[in-house]
């Protein structure tokens, strides 16, 4: 420890982060060295991209020392470690975040200026690390930030996809997907660990042999195809601490074990080709959100990642604890982010019984104590089920173990409920027709805790999809950890002006409130301070201008920053109901046109009916999801018509921002007046963009769903526009649709009529969308919630008033800005730091390490 102490104070030769923070010359010197020797360029032809790479390398080199020290300290302290297994980490950009967490933004800005660069332009060169689809992947990214910032010893394990989530282009109002080769210029934030190579086997067969030590027969697996997992590490800096954890992503590489049979048969090309196939395992992220496609390569990805991670975790444990397996649950917690890593349960059991010779019962006891599972959805199409045949072919030994786990589990169930024969069928890991492995059930059985991600959701899983398991295990196994977001990225980084204003009011020049977000509550003191409300509103206005500039550059549409910005950005999904939003926009437009026809002037319309607004959309549709793509097409076509109607002044604009991603979200979230979180009640497990918008002072229009419920509780129901049918009524309404047919309200009928008349292009393009509601049961209850949605919007407009960007408007300040301040003051609960503390206490049983 003394040695570490010395090193972290910079007595070794390498510069550490503190040198760079305190000494701009040092930064400049290192920067130039990276340009000249690392990149092989001269300072005379160093462009922004090269500057980004050199600056990143400079910061990273320093960070790597904190990181190495952290790892050594954690090894010496030998406390319990947390491993967060997630198939997705939607990290976004790293450099800006590192500057903020390491508190060297100002120095870097100044140094870069001295060298002739502008920090923002340099930051803009970085491609997003977009190794995730949406909420689930971004949550994992927020969690690793919090693990570091709160001084936990916690690593992330994932896959290093060559291609992240596709890039979305809008061509002729349609979504087009293009590949995201994000590693084009190599990534300065990745530390390739070529020495960490773990062989992972697939296929093959199982055989029995006599264990020479015990004389008993034991099972063994001989794999038929071997791939190497090679580590690529991302250091994860904490805010205001030198605790720097690791995010380890695996790359698939061919082994050097050349296929000599093929080679000797003269088929050199083939033998090389089959080697190359190895790399395909980590080549691409599956682009579905809340939907499982069931492709063999996906299962291969899952096992590859899980096997490498378990092996790495066990190797680290054995270094200190040898074969003291009973200590494993005191040393290691593994969190399964959704069912994607469920095979970790099976792999850990296999390692213990087949490779380490632990008895089944002892091993299983350890596995269950180590693992915990987070569920993120109740939607059936998102729950993973793998065909038994496929699992048996790819992982023959694992299938046997799954059957054994199931056998012992069903025995237990039978003892508990001998008279309920059907229960066995219902809770079996194996579904009979078609024969498949229910991964969620396996995850529950192999974990000591199962959590949902918002209160409502955690209650729902206990009464619907996992009801029988509550009966078997008791309700204490099921718990809730409401999601959160990291305030470092989603306040400080996304909204420098607002975070500075807050720091000023809290008299916290070092921004310590960012790791103690409850302090926001102190803003309530200023709620009657008119000058403060004006300052607050002025920040929002600047952020809206920044967003308007993004919209201009992305869509070439001019939006007036003084109008209400009404935003819905998230993955496109029927359950999230972007279709309901665009239908409401159409209704508004038709009504405006109707009023115009009656001779009402634009001024009068503004006076009596509608305030001016811009409806802003963004989000990707899964490439194979026809309905979602249709919704995008409709939004774009409606935008085309409305934005080109020069008779309506600035009353209404509709834009679709292409390629919504983390770095765009950082501009979009601070720029909202209002954002939409309008999923059918009971379908959105939590939602996290609701939190991002609210933390940035935007108000919310939303259904009584997911975390909206808790946001309303925290900030006060009078500060959120809630509407719509409740989760408890959804089943009944669906049944009613089925029995009586769907009742489409007059308002929505008008919208459908306009679409079918061809006002927004070829009506055939939208047939499935309209028919799905009117004639095919309206599964997502758009018809039931539509008028309630319109009413809620009326309330929004009354509250917002005719603001016109004029900060002196007392009515606007009193009605709207006050709500904005009050909301932010009460958003402290939604920090992902709070989530991590809850996981640590209730599920992992770990404490922050001593720094």
Residue with tokens 């050097």: 256
Residue with tokens 């995008």: 632
Q: Is 443 in the site for ligand H53 (CB under 6 A)?
A: no
Q: Is 483 in the site for ligand H53 (CB under 6 A)?
A: yes
**Minimum CB distance to ligand H53, residue 486 (Å):** 14
Torsion of CA 99, 105, 107, 111, to 10 degrees: 80
DSSP state of 680: P
Q: Measured from the CB atom, is 135 or 238 closer to ligand H53?
A: 135
Which residues, 6+ apart, have CB-to-CB distance to 332 below 8 Å?
80, 81, 83, 313, 317, 370
Identify the active-site residue in 664, 688, 703, 834.
688
Q: Measured from the CB atom, is 139 or 662 closer to ligand H53?
A: 139
Question: Collapsing DSSP states into helix, strand and coil, what is residue 851?
Answer: coil
Q: Measured from the CB atom, is 353 or 628 closer to ligand H53?
A: 628
Where do the H-state alpha helices sit in 78-104?
95-101
Sole binder of ligand H53 in the list 329, 670, 671, 687 (CB under 6 A): 687
DSSP state of 530: H
For 282, 322, 414, 422, the CA distances from 418, given in Å and listed in that order, are 46, 42, 5, 10
Q: Is 427 in the site for ligand H53 (CB under 6 A)?
A: no
Q: Is 485 in the site for ligand H53 (CB under 6 A)?
A: no
Q: Measured from the CB atom, is 396 or 687 closer to ligand H53?
A: 687
**Minimum CB distance to ligand H53, residue 333 (Å):** 19
Q: Retrieve residue 293's tokens.
A: 């496609």
Q: Is 480 in the site for ligand H53 (CB under 6 A)?
A: no
Sole binder of ligand H53 in the list 453, 551, 580, 835 (CB under 6 A): 453
**Minimum CB distance to ligand H53, residue 142 (Å):** 10
431 forms bridges with which residues in the sheet? 436
Q: Measured from the CB atom, is 358 or 685 closer to ligand H53?
A: 685
Q: Is 711 in the site for ligand H53 (CB under 6 A)?
A: no
Q: Measured from the CB atom, is 180 or 537 closer to ligand H53?
A: 180
Sole binder of ligand H53 in the list 46, 55, 123, 139 (CB under 6 A): 139
Tell me if residue 683 is catalytic.
no
* Burial track 333-352 (b if 16+ CB lie within 10 A, e otherwise): bbbbbbbbbbbbbbbbbbbb
Tell me if residue 588 is catalytic.
no
Q: Is 685 in the site for ligand H53 (CB under 6 A)?
A: yes
Q: Retrieve residue 334's tokens.
A: 């593994």
**Minimum CB distance to ligand H53, residue 687 (Å):** 5
Separation between Cα atoms, residue 682 and residue 5, nearest integer Å: 52
Sole binder of ligand H53 in the list 639, 706, 724, 772 (CB under 6 A): 706
Sole binder of ligand H53 in the list 56, 58, 242, 290 (CB under 6 A): 290
Tell me if residue 326 is catalytic.
no
Q: Measured from the CB atom, is 248 or 340 closer to ligand H53?
A: 340
What is the 3-state secondary structure of 518-575? HHHHHHHHHCCCHHHHHHHHHHHHHHHHHHHHHHHHHHCCCCCCCCEEEEEECCCCHH
Of residues 331 through 360, those in contact with ligand H53 by CB under 6 A are 338
**Minimum CB distance to ligand H53, residue 575 (Å):** 9
- Which residue's Cβ has the minimum distance to ligand H53? 135
Q: Is 134 in the site for ligand H53 (CB under 6 A)?
A: yes
Separation between Cα atoms, residue 815 and residue 754, nearest integer Å: 35
Which residues, 6+ apart, have CB-to-CB distance to 800 below 8 Å?
564, 611, 673, 674, 812, 815, 816
Which residues, 6+ apart, have CB-to-CB distance to 661 below 8 Å?
92, 128, 130, 165
**Would you give the binding string for ligand H53 spanning residues 375-404, x where CB under 6 A is met?**
-xx----x----------------------
**Minimum CB distance to ligand H53, residue 452 (Å):** 9
Q: Is 130 in the site for ligand H53 (CB under 6 A)?
A: no
Environment class of 740 (CB within 10 Å of its CB; exposed 0-12, middle 13-18, buried 19+): exposed
Q: Is 574 in the site for ligand H53 (CB under 6 A)?
A: no
- Going by C-alpha positions, the residue among 647, 653, 622 that lies closest to residue 555 is 653
Is 136 in contact with 338 (CB distance < 8 Å)? yes
Strand 430-431 relative to strand 436-438, pairing: antiparallel
Residue with tokens 């967060």: 84
Segment interacting with ligand H53, rule: CB under 6 A, options 101-109, 386-394, 519-527, 685-693:
685-693
Q: Is 446 in the site for ligand H53 (CB under 6 A)?
A: no
H or E element, residue 157? strand 154-159
| Phi then psi dihedrals of residue 87, to 5 deg | -75, -10
Q: Measured from the CB atom, is 357 or 623 closer to ligand H53?
A: 623
Question: Collapsing DSSP states into helix, strand and coil, what is residue 395?
Answer: coil
Segment interacting with ligand H53, rule: CB under 6 A, options 78-86, 217-225, 501-509, 682-690:
682-690
Please state the length of the chain: 851
Segment interacting with ligand H53, rule: CB under 6 A, options 129-137, 466-474, 708-716, 818-826:
129-137
Q: Is 499 in the site for ligand H53 (CB under 6 A)?
A: no
Is 392 in contact with 351 (CB distance < 8 Å)? no
Separation between Cα atoms, residue 143 and residue 833, nearest integer Å: 8
Separation between Cα atoms, residue 57 and residue 60, nearest integer Å: 5
**Minimum CB distance to ligand H53, residue 775 (Å):** 28
Segment interacting with ligand H53, rule: CB under 6 A, options 61-69, 130-138, 153-161, 607-615:
130-138
**Minimum CB distance to ligand H53, residue 453 (Å):** 4
Identify the active-site residue in 457, 570, 677, 819.
570
Q: Is 451 in the site for ligand H53 (CB under 6 A)?
A: no
**Minimum CB distance to ligand H53, residue 571 (Å):** 7
Identify the active-site residue in 376, 573, 677, 819.
376
How many Cα neighbours within 13 Å face the side chain of 373?
Answer: 27
Q: Retrieve residue 461's tokens.
A: 């899983």
Which residues, 6+ apart, have CB-to-CB distance to 254 below 8 Å?
227, 228, 275, 276, 278, 279
Tell me if residue 688 is catalytic.
yes
H or E element, residue 121? helix 119-123
Size of the site for ligand H53 (CB under 6 A): 19
Strands (E), 48-128: 81-85, 89-92
**Would you give the binding string for ligand H53 spanning residues 242-281, x where CB under 6 A is met?**
----------------------------------------
Question: Collapsing DSSP states into helix, strand and coil, what is residue 199?
Answer: strand
Segment interacting with ligand H53, rule: CB under 6 A, options 60-68, 526-534, 681-689, 833-841:
681-689
**Minimum CB distance to ligand H53, residue 451 (Å):** 10
Q: Measured from the CB atom, is 483 or 676 closer to ligand H53?
A: 483
**Would you give the binding string for ligand H53 spanning residues 15-44, x where CB under 6 A is met?**
------------------------------
Segment interacting with ligand H53, rule: CB under 6 A, options 5-13, 134-142, 154-162, 405-413:
134-142
**Minimum CB distance to ligand H53, residue 132 (Å):** 8
Q: Measured from the CB atom, is 66 or 289 closer to ligand H53?
A: 289
Tell me if residue 376 is catalytic.
yes
- Going by C-alpha positions, the residue among 387, 493, 459, 406 that lies closest to residue 120 is 493
Segment interacting with ligand H53, rule: CB under 6 A, options 69-77, 135-143, 536-544, 642-650:
135-143
Which residues, 6+ apart, have CB-to-CB distance to 501 below 8 Å?
535, 536, 539
Separation between Cα atoms, residue 506 and residue 508, nearest integer Å: 5
Q: Is 135 in the site for ligand H53 (CB under 6 A)?
A: yes
Sign (positive/negative) of CA torsion 775, 776, 782, 785? positive
Sole binder of ligand H53 in the list 115, 136, 200, 751 (CB under 6 A): 136
Tell me if residue 398 is catalytic.
no
Q: Which amino acids are annotated catalytic?
A: 376, 570-571, 576, 688, 692
Residues in contact with ligand H53 by CB under 6 A are 133-136, 139, 289-290, 338, 376-377, 382, 453, 483, 684-688, 706
């Amino acid at each position: 420890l003394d040695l570490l102490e010395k090193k972290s104070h910079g007595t070794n030769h390498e510069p550490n982060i503190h040198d760079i923070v305190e000494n701009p010359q040092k930064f400049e010197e290192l920067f130039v060295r990276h340009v000249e020797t690392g990149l092989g360029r001269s300072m005379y032809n160093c462009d922004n991209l090269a500057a980004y790479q050199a600056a990143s390398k400079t910061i990273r080199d320093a960070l790597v020392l904190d990181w190495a020290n952290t790892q050594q300290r954690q090894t010496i302290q030998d406390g319990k470690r947390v491993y967060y297994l997630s198939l997705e980490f939607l990290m976004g950009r790293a450099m800006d975040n590192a500057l903020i967490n390491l508190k060297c933004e100002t120095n870097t800005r100044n140094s870069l200026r001295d060298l002739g660069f502008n920090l923002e332009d340099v930051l803009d060169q970085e491609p997003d690390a977009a190794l995730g689809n949406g909420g689930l992947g971004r949550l994992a990214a927020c969690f690793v930030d919090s693990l570091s910032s709160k001084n936990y010893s916690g690593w992330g394990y994932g896959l290093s996809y060559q291609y992240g989530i596709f890039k979305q282009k809008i061509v002729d109002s349609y979504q087009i997907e293009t590949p995201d080769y994000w590693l084009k210029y190599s990534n300065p934030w990745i530390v390739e660990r070529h020495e960490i190579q773990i062989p992972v086997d697939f296929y093959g067969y199982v055989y029995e042999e006599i264990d020479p030590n015990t004389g008993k027969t034991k099972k063994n697996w001989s794999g038929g195809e071997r791939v190497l997992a090679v580590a690529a590490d991302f250091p994860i800096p904490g805010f205001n601490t030198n605790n720097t954890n690791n995010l380890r992503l695996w790359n698939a590489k061919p082994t050097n074990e050349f296929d000599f049979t093929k080679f000797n048969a003269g088929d050199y090309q083939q033998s090389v080709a089959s080697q190359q196939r190895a790399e395909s395992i980590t080549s691409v992220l599956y682009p579905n959100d809340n939907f499982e496609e069931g492709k063999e390569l996906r299962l291969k990805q899952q096992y590859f990642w899980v096997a490498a991670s378990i092996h790495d975790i066990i190797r680290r444990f054995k270094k200190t604890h040898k074969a003291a397996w009973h200590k494993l649950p005191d040393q290691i917690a593994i969190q399964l982010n959704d069912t994607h890593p469920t095979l970790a349960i099976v792999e850990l059991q296999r390692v213990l019984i087949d490779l380490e010779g632990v008895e089944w019962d002892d091993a299983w006891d350890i596995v269950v104590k180590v693992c915990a599972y987070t569920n993120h959805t109740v939607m059936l199409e998102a729950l993973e089920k793998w065909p038994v045949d496929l699992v048996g072919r790819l992982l023959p030994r694992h299938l046997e173990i799954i059957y054994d786990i199931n056998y012992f589990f069903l025995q237990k169930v039978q003892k508990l409920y001998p008279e309920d024969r059907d229960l066995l069928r219902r809770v079996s890991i194996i579904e009979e027709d078609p024969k498949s492995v229910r991964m969620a059930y396996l995850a529950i059985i192999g974990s000591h805790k199962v959590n949902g991600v918002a209160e409502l959701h955690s209650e729902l899983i206990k009464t619907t999809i996992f009801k029988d398991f509550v009966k078997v295990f008791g309700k204490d196994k099921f718990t809730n950890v409401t999601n959160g977001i990291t305030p470092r990225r989603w306040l400080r980084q996304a909204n420098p002006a607002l975070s500075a204003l807050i720091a000023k009011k809290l008299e916290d020049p070092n921004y310590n409130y960012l790791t103690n977000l409850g302090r926001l509550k102190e803003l309530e003191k200023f709620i009657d301070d008119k000058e403060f409300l004006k300052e607050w509103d002025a920040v929002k206005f600047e952020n809206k201008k920044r967003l308007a500039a993004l919209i201009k550059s992305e869509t070439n549409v001019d939006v007036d920053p003084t109008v209400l910005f009404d935003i819905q950005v998230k993955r496109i999904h029927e359950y999230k109901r972007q279709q309901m939003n665009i239908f409401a926009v159409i209704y508004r437009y038709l009504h405006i046109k109707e009023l115009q026809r009656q001779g009402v002037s634009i001024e009068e319309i503004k006076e009596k009916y509608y305030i001016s607004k811009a409806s802003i959309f963004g989000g990707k549709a899964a490439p194979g999801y026809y309905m979602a793509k249709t919704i995008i097409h409709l939004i774009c076509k409606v935008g085309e018509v409305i934005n080109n109607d020069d008779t309506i002044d600035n009353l209404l604009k509709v834009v679709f921002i292409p390629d919504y991603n983390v770095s765009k979200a950082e501009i979009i979230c601070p720029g909202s007046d209002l954002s939409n979180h309008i999923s059918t009640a009971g379908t959105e497990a939590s939602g996290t963009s609701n939190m991002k918008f609210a933390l940035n002072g935007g108000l919310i229009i939303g259904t009584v769903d997911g975390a909206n419920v808790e946001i309303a509780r925290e900030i006060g129901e009078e500060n959120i526009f809630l509407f719509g049918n409740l989760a408890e009524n959804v089943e009944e309404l669906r049944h009613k649709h089925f029995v009586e047919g769907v009742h489409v309200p007059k308002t929505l009928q008008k919208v459908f009529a306009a679409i079918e008349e061809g006002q927004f292009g070829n009506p055939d393009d939208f047939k499935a969308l309209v028919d799905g509601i009117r004639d095919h049961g309206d599964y997502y209850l758009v018809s039931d919630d539509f008028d309630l949605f319109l009413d809620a919007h009326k309330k929004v407009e009354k509250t917002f008033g005719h603001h016109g960007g004029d900060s002196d408007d007392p009515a606007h300040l009193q009605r709207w800005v006050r709500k904005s301040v009050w909301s932010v003051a009460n958003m402290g609960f939604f920090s992902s730091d709070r989530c991590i503390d809850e996981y640590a206490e209730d599920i992992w049983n770990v404490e922050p390490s001593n720094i």
